[in-house]
Amino acid sequence: MSTDNQPSTYIVDVNESNFEDEVVKKSFTVPVMVDFWAPWCNPCKTLMPIVTKLAEEFGGKFILAKVNVDDNQPLAGKYNARSVPTVKIFRNGEVVDEFMGAQPEGNVRKVLGNHIESESDKLRAKAGELVKQGNVDEAVTLLQQANQEDPDNPGVRMDLIGALFAKGDYESVEQAVAALPVNEREAPEIKELENRLLFVKAAADAPLADELMTLIEKDPNDSASRYRLAARMVVDGETESALGELLNLMMRDREYGDDGARKGMLAILESIQDPAVAGTWRRKMASVIL
């Protein structure tokens, strides 16, 4: 902890002459929290010990810059600090967050948490590089470690599920998805992953596409082979061909896989970005249902 005789390197008094260097330029390296305060302000006296404590505790992960508005009216006006205390977070030269009035320590921590890179975020970034390099097993290990150390980081959870999918550990993917909070379970990227998992599992032990086509030519009513062929097409990125096979299956065998063809089409259509293409196939599907 700092003392009066040994000022903290993480806390600085700023004014118009040093604001550019101490706030704007430093914010390209770490977040800078600027506290606009005044000596006569009682809420300032409540907030200042909190932000000072956090600056020391975080040990340089952010800088606390204090602006006495009585002595720096033009600076306060420039950044629209009309009341005190006003706190603004600078990152990469710009204000990225702010709050006014005295806040409980928990609230201040939450604001800081949105802008300070955590150890779990560092592990997450490293894991992302490993995935790009094809080292999926190492990435999964790092993300599992990050998830244990920081279970409240949703980005880690999402990346772990993606890495498990890339590894082919589909059972673990399903377990991880099932354990997600409801709001994260409904995220578009999770829905898309679940839809893709449906087809990946169906294609996992299926014959090659050419073999499946041969089986279907011999027996056009071979529902299992047609569904597996559609699944292989989805995995290979042949989305519209897969939709065609599933539509054919709907017309021939609505009972297969508990209406699996219709469910499969809906799963594919959820991930199609082109509204015109999706609309065309929805109309085709509707005509079969009717």
Condensed to tens digits (0 to 9), the pLDDT of residues 211-229 reads 999 999 999 999 999 999 9
Same domain, 148 and 233: no
Same domain, 101 and 128: no
Band of the pLDDT at 7, cuts 50, 70, 90?
low
**In terms of Cα–Cα distance, which of 149, 156, 145, 146 is closest to 180?**
156
Total number of domains constituting the chain:
3
Which CATH number covers residue 214? 1.25.40.10
The predicted-structure confidence for 253-264, as pLDDT tens digits, reads as follows 999 999 999 999
The predicted-structure confidence for 73-115, as pLDDT tens digits, reads as follows 999 999 999 999 999 999 999 999 999 999 999 999 989 988 9
Q: Is 44 among the catalytic positions?
A: yes
Q: Quote the mean pLDDT of the chain.
A: 92
The predicted-structure confidence for 125-163, as pLDDT tens digits, reads as follows 999 999 999 999 999 999 999 999 888 888 899 999 999
Domain-embedded: residue 193: no
Q: Is 41 among the catalytic positions?
A: yes
Higher pLDDT, 38 or 289: 38
Boundary (domain end) residue, out of 63, 97, 113 = 113
Same domain, 149 and 213: no
pLDDT score at 159: 95
Marked catalytic residue, from 12, 41, 176, 250: 41
Q: Is the separation of the CB atoms in 100 and 48 below 8 Å?
A: no
Please name every residue paired with 6 in a beta bridge, in sequence order, or none if there are none: 3
What is the rounded CA–CA span in Å between residue 24 and residue 137? 41
Q: Residue 121 above 70 pLDDT?
A: yes
| Tokens linked to 174 | 């399903």
Domain limits at 42?
11-113
Marked catalytic residue, from 12, 44, 54, 285: 44
Centre a 10 Å sphere on the Cβ of residue 200 and count the other Cβ atoms it contains.
18
- Helix spans in 133-153 (H): 136-149
Which CATH number covers residue 93? 3.40.30.10
